[in-house]
Structure 1
């Protein structure tokens, strides 16, 4: 039996003290003791030596790592498990330099492991959103004050996005409901209590630009019709009122919460952008556009599961580890 209440790296190493422990745990999570062929799910499976299995219909051999981020990796599963724990439990993530030191591998190896892990974070970035949804864009890249003197943009010309990458986000606010319960002391009387029943969820995607033709398809893909949609005054959101209850706040007038209705604002998603930027600038220093979506997926995974225990975050990623990324895909 495995410890189902892991609270620290120490307990993790105790629970998975051998490579066989890791293999047995993966088999339990993935197959529940009934191996399934990745080549033909209907095929009968034969157990072979060294944790190998053979698919009867195709004649191919496989193991629990086939088709996952662990396939053909020379790194032990014990180190993989530690890496996943560190990535999912740290609030701002972990750098490849630090991870390499923590699990005893080269920095380049740690970077490759992190990229494989990040490729699985996309499981939390495709939520169907409803209720009250805030939409906003942000930009990742260099600051004007850090540009070379001859490349700085005068304040009179506004902001320049030539060296920035736009990100579009949609955040579903957490909802609460009022319920009535019998009073514990006074007979025939009820009390009204606020009960939180849904936490906020978020989707975010790297974009080529912030034009209407780029932004609106994402909204239609992930936000249910007739949802209460909150945005700023950016022109790319115009026309959404045909399918949504679209309200906007005019930041150009220094307005951040509507005086007529305090539900009309985008403060929640704007606050989440600060966390994303602090994470990238504070932990990773620089992220190329090619890999930026993976870092955004990591941020969304952590944001959406922020109220879930470290043990559940770890287990959830293992359950969804069937994304294999090859080294040449990352470097070319």
Structure 2
């Protein structure tokens, strides 16, 4: 019988005070941390009839703070229990959850739900630890294309031929490990080379398709082997790109089936969301609750306001 780590009946999803306590335990496992000076544990809680729960004051810098100060939740008027539910839903939905679905589920406006999902995606951004393929591992590299609907002069939607008008996404997947994806301007050696050099270890074994751009710098790694998709070759012994193509399959099902239309401006955030869930997948022993907790731990130091995003809210429709 599968282990049920958490569900939407948990108290932190229905009570703002329980949600605050849960968030404090998750974000501050060793006690409150002052977001102004970074002091850990040297604080006291402010109490009084007019004082809101969870307000602390730092002994060092004398500044007041709560668990949401300096995070993507800062100054939000949305109850914390709804924030925690939104994080859980986005982390537990394999192909994502649209802002329209979230606005219906949480009872907030679509504009609010749209902003919430982008702030949660900001929390999902992680600083990569180590290089892919370290110790002689195998890394598969491939690119895919994302086409938003185009309109002709008569206003009719169409899908053009070729790839020039499409958005390009490069993904590097370490077999049995992590994926790192990047929205790149063009698929050529000048764009691929710096990404692979920065993300892959020199002793890694690179697997690609026959795209000529990889041949220009494949010698930088322990080995470079490729399969010839154009000739109907997809597997040759241990040489294949099936892992990265499987990841692209999940990504495309989410973009097409859940989000439908992702502008080029925000495409990297959507890709980062799918990277996060893949890198914290069940096969690695990380279930929905742990995945949501990891996202909550990433809210710190990433305050995101509405104005810099400059959203075209109507661009995501479900």
Q: TM-score range by the shorter chain?
A: 0.7 to 0.9
1:329 matched to 2:304? The reply is no
Residue 113 of structure 2 corresponds to: 110
The 1-side partners of 2:147 and 2:261 are apart by 8
**1:173-184 equivalences in 2 (<5 Å):** 173-174=175-176
1:306 matched to 2:309? The reply is no
Deviation of the 1:142 alpha carbon? 4.2
Deviation of the 1:290 alpha carbon? 0.7
Contact 1:138 1:168 (C-alpha < 8 Å) held by counterparts? yes
Contact 1:126 1:222 (C-alpha < 8 Å) held by counterparts? no
Residue 8 of structure 1 corresponds to: 7
Contact 1:125 1:301 (C-alpha < 8 Å) held by counterparts? no
Deviates more, 1:66-75 or 1:297-306: 297-306
Deviation of the 1:251 alpha carbon? 1.9
Residue 248 of structure 1 corresponds to: 226
Q: TM-score, normalised by structure 1?
A: 0.81
Task: Write out per-residue CA displacement over residues 120-173 of structure 1, whole angstroms, 9 at most, x where no aligned residue.
Answer: 1222766631111100011111489x97899876xxxxx522321101110111
1:204 matched to 2:207? The reply is no
Structure 1 residue corresponding to 2:15, chosen from 11, 18, 40: 18
Contact 1:227 1:244 (C-alpha < 8 Å) held by counterparts? yes
For the aligned residues, what is the CA RMSD? 2.5
Contact 1:47 1:53 (C-alpha < 8 Å) held by counterparts? yes
> The residue matched to 1:110 in structure 2 has which SS?
helix
The 1-side partners of 2:149 and 2:31 are apart by 54
Deviates more, 1:78-87 or 1:117-126: 117-126
The 1-side partners of 2:257 and 2:178 are apart by 24
Structure 2 residue corresponding to 1:74, chosen from 71, 74, 77: 77
Structure 2 residue corresponding to 1:135, chosen from 141, 157, 176: 141
The 1-side partners of 2:245 and 2:106 are apart by 35
Residue 254 of structure 2 corresponds to: 279
Contact 2:167 2:185 (C-alpha < 8 Å) held by counterparts? yes
Contact 1:87 1:94 (C-alpha < 8 Å) held by counterparts? yes
Residue 44 of structure 2 corresponds to: 46
Contact 1:168 1:207 (C-alpha < 8 Å) held by counterparts? yes
CA gap of 1:152–1:320, structure 2 versus 1, over 3 A, is closer
Deviates more, 1:206-215 or 1:237-246: 237-246
Query: Over alpha carbons, which structure has the higher Rg?
Result: 1
Deviation of the 1:36 alpha carbon? 1.8
Deviation of the 1:319 alpha carbon? 1.4
Deviation of the 1:211 alpha carbon? 1.4
Contact 1:127 1:201 (C-alpha < 8 Å) held by counterparts? no
The 1-side partners of 2:276 and 2:85 are apart by 18
Contact 2:149 2:158 (C-alpha < 8 Å) held by counterparts? no
Structure 2 unmatched runs, 5+: 312-318
1:99 matched to 2:78? The reply is no
Deviation of the 1:29 alpha carbon? 2.0
The 2-side partners of 1:152 and 1:79 are apart by 39
Deviation of the 1:300 alpha carbon? 0.9
Task: Write out per-residue CA displacement over residues 31-71 of structure 1, whole angstroms, 9 at most, x where no aligned residue.
Answer: 23622211112474232132212233433221110111110
Structure 2 residue corresponding to 1:28, chosen from 18, 25, 30: 25
Deviates more, 1:67-76 or 1:211-220: 211-220
Contact 1:127 1:202 (C-alpha < 8 Å) held by counterparts? no
Residue 166 of structure 2 corresponds to: 164
Q: TM-score, normalised by structure 2?
A: 0.85
Contact 1:125 1:202 (C-alpha < 8 Å) held by counterparts? no
Deviates more, 1:305-314 or 1:235-244: 235-244
